[in-house]
C-alpha cells in the first residue's frame, strides 16, 4: 500500500507542488532581503531621498521588508490550508488510516 501511494501520480504531484511553493517563496524572501541589503550598500542616495516631508524612501522600504515577509508566510499558510491539506486528507483516506 505504501509503495502504491509513493508511486502514484497523485502523491508525486503533491510533493512537487509543495516543493515548488516552498522554493518560490524562499527565493522571493531571499530576493527582498538581500536586495534591500545590496541597495543600502550600493545606492544609499536612492534610499535617502525624501518622499513625505522628512520621511525617506528607505523607511517604508525597510518596514516593507518586514511586512512582506509576514505576507509571504500568510500566502503559504493560505495555500497549505486550502490546497495542500485537501490533497493530504484524500491520500490519508485512501490509505484508510486515521
Would you say 9 or 53 has its CB closer to other proteins?
A: 53
Closest contact distance (angstroms) between CB of 95 and other proteins is 7
d(CA 53, CA 55): 6
Query: According to DSSP H, which parts of the chain are helical?
Result: 2-7, 9-42, 44-48, 58-79, 85-95
Does residue 96 touch other proteins according to CB under 8 A?
Answer: no
Please enumerate, as own/partner, the contacts of 19-24 that have beta carbons within 8 Å and a separation of 24 or more: 21/76, 21/79, 22/76
Closest contact distance (angstroms) between CB of 9 and other proteins is 14
Identified binder of other proteins from the candidate list 10, 74, 86, 93, rule CB under 8 A: 74
Identified binder of other proteins from the candidate list 20, 41, 82, 86, rule CB under 8 A: 41
Does residue 83 touch other proteins according to CB under 8 A?
Answer: no
Amino acid at each position: 500500500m505504501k509503495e502504491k501511494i509513493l508511486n502514484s501520480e497523485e502523491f508525486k504531484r503533491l510533493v512537487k507542488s509543495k516543493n515548488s511553493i516552498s522554493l518560490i517563496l524562499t527565493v522571493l524572501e531571499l530576493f527582498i532581503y538581500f536586495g534591500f541589503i545590496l541597495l543600502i550598500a550600493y545606492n544609499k542616495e536612492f534610499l535617502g531621498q525624501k518622499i513625505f516631508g522628512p520621511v525617506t524612501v528607505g523607511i517604508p522600504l525597510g518596514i516593507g521588508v518586514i511586512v512582506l515577509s509576514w505576507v509571504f508566510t500568510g500566502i503559504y499558510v493560505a495555500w497549505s490550508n486550502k490546497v495542500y491539506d485537501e490533497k493530504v486528507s484524500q491520500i490519508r483516506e485512501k490509505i484508510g488510516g486515521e
